[in-house]
Amino acid sequence: MEPIKSIKLATQSPCPAFGGLRILTRLEGFLPILLGNHGCYYGLNFLSHFYAARKSIYAPMLYSIDFTDRNLHHKLLEAIQQIIREEKPEFIPVINLCVATTVGIDIDEMARQIPEIIPIRITGFGTRSHAEAKDVALEGIFKKLKQLGDHKLREPKAVAAVGEIFPADAITLENLMVKLGLKFRAQVPSKDINDFRKALNVSTIACLHPFYTKTMRQFSEVGIDHIAGAPVGIENTYNWIKEIAAKAGADAALAEKVAREEQEAVRQVVNGPLNLKGARILVAGYEGIELLVARLLIEAGADVPYVSTSIGKSALTEADVNWLLARGIEVKFRKSAADDLVAVKKYKPDIALAATDVAAMGKELGSASVYFTNLISARPLFLAHGAENILGLMHHLLKSRNSLNRVREFFQDTEMARSIPVQEVQEYLGCSSCSACDDREAN
Amino acid sequence: MQMIRDVDLTNGYWGALYVLAPMRGNFCVIIDGPIGCHYVPVDSALNYTDAIPYLQNVYATHILEGDVALDGTLNKLKKLCGELIDHYDDIFILSCQESEIISSEGSMLEAEVDGRRIWYIHTRSLDSDDFQGRDDLMLHLYKHVAAKLPRQPKKTSDKPLVNIIGPTFGNFNHYADFAEVKRIVHGIGAEINVAFPFECALHDVTRLDDAAANIIMYQEYGQKLGEAMGKPMFFGPIGLEATQEFIVGLGEALGLRQQAEAFIAEEKRTTLQGFWDVWRSPHQDIFRTNTFGVYAHKTYADGLSRFLRDELGFEQYIYGVKTDRYRSKSAMNIEEALLENPPTLFFGCVNEKIYITEHILPTRFLPAATPMPIVCRSTGTPFMGFAGVVYITQIVSNELFDILYSHIHIEYTPEKDKRRRDRETARKEWEDQLKGKLVITEVKWPEETLAHMEKVLKKVPFFVRVSASKMLKVESEKIAKEQFRDYVTIEDVDQVYSRFKR
C-alpha cells in the first residue's frame, strides 16, 4: 500500500512560527508575545526552549468567547502595557499566529499605540516554511529600526552578513574581509540588536541563505546592495570572494589574489584524502544551505542524485540551482516528506542528510542517515576549514555503517514499528538475508 | 486579561491525537489543520517526549490561505477520505483550532460505506485542554465508536480481568509507570484485559466491558470513561501507603485479597529491600532536613508530595498542579514561588528548569512533567508502585549527595599555580608581619555584606551550610585583598557563591 499522494500536500516544515521564534527569542532585551491558541503556545514554547533560546515566551489564554469580545484589542493592549511595566523590555515582537490572524487581531494598530511592539504575522497557512518565517521576523525588525531612523550612517567598504551560521564561520568571514581590505561590521541574526542596526549602515550585504528575500527588499529600499551564496566549495569560494569584493569596492587585484589562494586551499582539501569518490549522498534539507552543501559534496567526488529543500525558488537560489541542474541532479523546491522518502528508496544512498522522519527511515534501510539540523547546520561550512569539517563528517558517517547495520540486523526478524515494511528493506538492500549485507559491506 | 509565561498545557486536538495514535489496527487519522498542527505534535514534540520518529497513519489537510479565505477544508477532506477509504477500515478526522475558527464542515463527512467508516472528532481545541481532549475522546470511543466496530471475543482466562486506562502518548515517564502497573496486576494473579489506548487495537474498545475493575493511570483523565463503565476504579499510586492501598483495593475488588497481601509481603522482601536499606542508612537523615517543591500534573504533584513529605519527611516549599493554573482564577506564579523560597530539590518541567537557571538558584532540578525534552523510554524509571518507591528514593538520594560532593574540597587544576603563588605571598606577608616589617589591616565585613551573606547562606542546603559559610568567608576576604580593599562587598560574596554551583 502506498497512500503517499495524500501526504504530498505539505511542504515539509515544522510550524513556521518556530522559525520566527528562533530569531526573536535569541535577541537580548526582546520579550516575545504569541497571539493564538494554547495548543500553539505549548508546542512552540517546547520547540523554542531547546532549539532557540532558554527564554520565556508570553501569551494570553484566548478562548472562543474572547474572539467575539469587542474589547479584545483593548484588553490585549492593557495586558501588554502591564508586561512592559513589569519587565521593561526593549522591544516586544507580537506574533499573530493562525487563529489570531484569521479573526483579524490588528497588531499593526497595536504597534502604532505601543512603540515597543514589532508586529509580526506568521501563520501555518500563509508562511510557507519555517525558514521563510525567519525572513518575516528579520523584515519586521529591520522595518522597525528604519522607522526609528537607525539607517542613516552609511559606511563605504563595509559588509554585513545575513544568515544563521556557525560562530567559527562568522570569524572566517571577518578574517576574509580584513584580507580584502573591507570592514566586516555585523552578522545577523544574532543576540544583539545593535548588530541589526550596524547591518543597516553598511555598503554591501552578503545574503548567505537564499530565503531572505523580504529582508533583502528592506536593504534595497535604503540603497544597500546584496550578493547571494557563500564561500563553500571550490567554485563558490572563488566566485563569492570576487563578487563581494567587486560589490563592496575592494581592490580588484588584491581580490583576485585572495580568491585564488582560498580556492586553492579548498581544492587541496576536496581533492585530498577526504574526497568522497564512490559515496552516494542524498541531501534533503530545508533552508537553502543544502544547495551549497550538495555542491561541496559533488566537488569532492560524491554522487549526489537528489537535493531537496522546503524553501521556494528565488533569484537568490538561481546560481546554485543552475549549477546542480547542469549536472543532471534532481532538485526539488517546496518538497514534502513523501518526496524525500521516495528519493531515499529510489536512490539507495550511503548517507541521507535529512529531516528526522526521513533520516529515521534511512537508518532502517541501513543508510548512515543523520538529522540535517543537528549535524550539518551545527558546524563550519566556509572555505577550506568548512570543507574539511563537512567532508570529515561524511567519512565518519561512512565508517559508522557497520555499527548501524549490526543494530538494524538485530531487529530484522521481529515486527517492530517501522516506516517501511521489512520486505521492502530487504528488496532495497538487494539481498535475502541480513548477514549477507554485512559481508557486502566488509568487501 | 493576563499574559501567561510559558503556557504548559496544550489543547484538545493534541489530547485526541495522543489517544488515537498509539493504538494498533487498520485505521488512520486526518488532521484538519495547517502544517504546524501536523508537524509540531507529531514530529517535533512526540520525537522529544516519546522518541517516536514517524507516525505512519497520520495525514493532514494542511490548510492554506485559500482555504481560510474562501473554500474551507471540506474539499480537501473529501479528496483525502476518498483516497484513504480504500486502505483503512476507519478514518478519524480531528478538528484543530484553525479548522474550528473557520468553521470547517468536516462533520458532514461522517459516514459508513461498505463497512468502512469516517468519524469526525470535534476536539474543541479553541476551548479545551489536552486532558479534557483525552477524557472526551476515550469516552466517545467507548460510547459511540465501539458499537460500530466488530465485537471482539472475550479473553479466555481463569484469572480476573482488569483494564488499564491510560497512558497515552505525551505523558511523562509513562512507559516505566505503565510497566510497573502491569507488573503489579500480574503479581496479584490478575490478567490485563485491555490496556487502553497504549497497548491495544482499536477494535479492543469493544472488549472494555469484560473487565471486573479499571485502573485509571492518571487522575488527569480517563475518569469519565471509568465512570461510564461503572466498575470499581483504582488510580496509579505513588508512595508506599498509596501503593499498598492500591494493591489491597484491587485485590479485594477482584476476589484476590489473599494473593494481594502475599504479593505485598513478597515485595517487601524483594523489590522494596533496596528502599529499606537506603531508608536505614545515613541517606535517610538528609531527607528529613531538606526541602522540595513540585509543579506537575495532578497525579505526580500529589503522589510526590505524599511520598516525599509524608513518608520520607522532606519539608515541602512548593506545590502546584498544572491544570489548576488555567482552570482556576488564582493561578500560581511558579517563578515567584521559586524565588521566594527556593527548595533544595524541585520537580517540574523544562520551564522551571529554565527559571532556576535564569535566576542562578541553588535548587536542583528533577524532571517530572511535560513539556520536557528528555527521553523516558526505559521501563526501569517508574514513579508509581513499589518499584517507583525505590526509584524516587534513589534519585533524590543521589541528587542530595551530589550537592554534598559539590562542597567537598577540590583543587581546580587551572587554578593550582595561582593558589601556590597566593600561598607564597601570604606566607611572606605573615613572616614580614612577625618581623615587624608590615602592619596588616584586617578585612572588615560591613553590615550590609554580612546581611547579604546570611541571605545567601539560607539558599544553601542545611546539611552543607557550615562548610559553605567558612568557604564564603575565607574566599570573599581573599577577593577583597586581591583588589586592595580592606572591606568585603556584596559582589565578592556573590562571586564566591556562584562557584558553589560548579
Instruction: Give residue B94's Cα distance to chain centre.
Output: 26
Comparing C-alpha atoms, which of A163, A154, A311, A305 is closest to residue A240? A163
Confidence of residue B292 (pLDDT cuts 50, 70, 90): very high
Closest partner residue to B38 (CB to CB) among A10, A80, A417 is: A10
Neighbour-count burial for A379-399, b at 16+ CB within 10 Å, e otherwise: ebbbbbbbbbbbbebbeebbe
Residue B90's φ and ψ, nearest 5 degrees, are -135, 140
Q: What is the CATH topology of the domain spanning B413-501?
A: Helicase, Ruva Protein; domain 3 (1.10.8)
| pLDDT > 90 in chain A, percent | 76
Closest partner residue to B6 (CB to CB) among A16, A57, A361 is: A57
- Write down the residue that cell numbers 545575513 correspond to: A162
**Beta-carbon contacts of residue B222 (< 8 Å; ≥ 6 apart):** B134, B135, B138, B165, B166, B216
Residues of A with CB below 8 A from B1's CB? 60, 66, 75-76, 78-79
> How is the beta sheet containing A306-308 ordered, strand by strand?
A330-332, A306-308, A281-284, A351-354, A370-371
Architecture of domain B274-407: 3-Layer(aba) Sandwich (3.40)
- Write down the residue that cell numbers 486532558 correspond to: B131
Split into its structural domains, chain A has a count of: 3
The reply to whether A249 and A300 lie within a common domain is no
Residues of B with CB below 8 A from A39's CB? 10-14, 37, 96-97, 125, 130
Rounded Cα–Cα distance for residues A358 and B43 (Å):
11
The answer on pLDDT for A134 being more than 80 is yes
| Per-residue pLDDT tens over the stretch B383-416 | 999 999 999 999 999 999 999 888 888 888 998 9
The answer on pLDDT for A438 being more than 70 is no
Indicate whether A7 belongs to any domain: no
The reply to whether A162 and A261 lie within a common domain is yes
The reply to whether A288 and A225 lie within a common domain is no
Query: What cell was used for B342?
Result: 527556593
Question: Mean pLDDT score of chain A, rounded to an integer?
Answer: 91
Rounded Cα–Cα distance for residues A249 and A156 (Å):
8
- Give the range of the structural domain holding residue A244, as residue numbers without chain letter: 158-269
Name the minimum distance, in Å, from the CA of A182 to any CA of chain B.
Answer: 39
The reply to whether A326 and A264 lie within a common domain is no
With an 8 Å Cβ cutoff, are B3 and A98 in contact?
no
Same fold, B161-269 and B413-501: no
DSSP code at position B155 = P
A6 close contact with B: CB closer than 8 A: yes
| Per-residue pLDDT tens over the stretch A147-177 | 999 999 999 999 999 999 998 999 999 999 9
Task: Please state the rounded mean pLDDT for residues B336-344.
Answer: 90
pLDDT for the residue A9: 53
| Per-residue pLDDT tens over the stretch A37-69 | 999 999 999 999 999 999 999 999 999 999 999
Amino acid at B32: D
Indicate the class that CATH gives domain B12-128.
alpha beta
- Residue B394, Cβ density class (10 Å: 0-12 exposed, 13-18 middle, ≥19 buried): middle
The answer on pLDDT for A440 being more than 90 is no
A75 close contact with B: CB closer than 8 A: yes
With an 8 Å Cβ cutoff, are A6 and B44 in contact?
no
Query: What cell was used for B40?
Result: 509540531
Instruction: Tell me how far CA of residue B61 lies from CA of A292, B55, B107, B133, in angstroms.
Output: 32, 16, 15, 20
With an 8 Å Cβ cutoff, are A99 and B98 in contact?
yes
Task: Please tell me the least confidently modeled range out of A197-211, B219-233, B326-340, B351-365.
Answer: B326-340
State ipTM. 0.88
For chain A, how big is the Rg over CA atoms in Å?
24
**Beta-carbon contacts of residue A52 (< 8 Å; ≥ 6 apart):** A18, A21, A22, A25, A26
| pLDDT > 90 in chain B, percent | 64
Largest CA distance in chain A: 73
| pLDDT > 70 in chain A, percent | 92
Cross-strand bridge partners of residue A303: A280
| Per-residue pLDDT tens over the stretch B123-146 | 999 999 999 999 999 999 999 999
CB B4 within 8 A of CB A59: yes
Enumerate the domain spans of chain B: 12-128, 161-269, 274-407, 413-501
The reply to whether A244 and A331 lie within a common domain is no
The answer on pLDDT for A442 being more than 50 is no
Which residue has better confidence, A443 or A357? A357
The H-assigned helical ranges of B212-346 are 223-229, 240-253, 257-269, 273-280, 283-287, 298-305, 322-327, 334-340
Architecture of domain B161-269: 3-Layer(aba) Sandwich (3.40)
The reply to whether A334 and A240 lie within a common domain is no
Question: Mean pLDDT score of chain B, rounded to an integer?
Answer: 92
pTM: 0.90
| Per-residue pLDDT tens over the stretch B71-126 | 888 988 998 899 899 889 999 999 999 999 998 888 888 888 888 999 999 999 99
Cross-strand bridge partners of residue A225: A204
CB A177 within 8 A of CB A159: yes
Rounded Cα–Cα distance for residues B237 and B217 (Å):
8
Instruction: Tell me how far CA of residue A211 lies from CA of A127, A301, A314, in angstroms.
Output: 12, 28, 8
The answer on pLDDT for A392 being more than 60 is yes
Query: What cell was used for A39?
Result: 495548543
A371 close contact with B: CB closer than 8 A: no
Closest partner residue to A124 (CB to CB) among B3, B7, B37 is: B37
With an 8 Å Cβ cutoff, are B101 and A36 in contact?
no
Query: What cell was used for A149?
Result: 531612523
Q: What is the CATH number of the domain that holds A232?
A: 3.40.50.1980
Comparing C-alpha atoms, which of A362, A14, A205, A69 is closest to residue B39? A14
| pLDDT > 70 in chain B, percent | 98
The reply to whether A251 and A314 lie within a common domain is no
Rounded Cα–Cα distance for residues B98 and B126 (Å):
8
Query: What cell was used for A135?
Result: 525572513
The reply to whether A337 and A392 lie within a common domain is yes
- Residue B482, Cβ density class (10 Å: 0-12 exposed, 13-18 middle, ≥19 buried): exposed
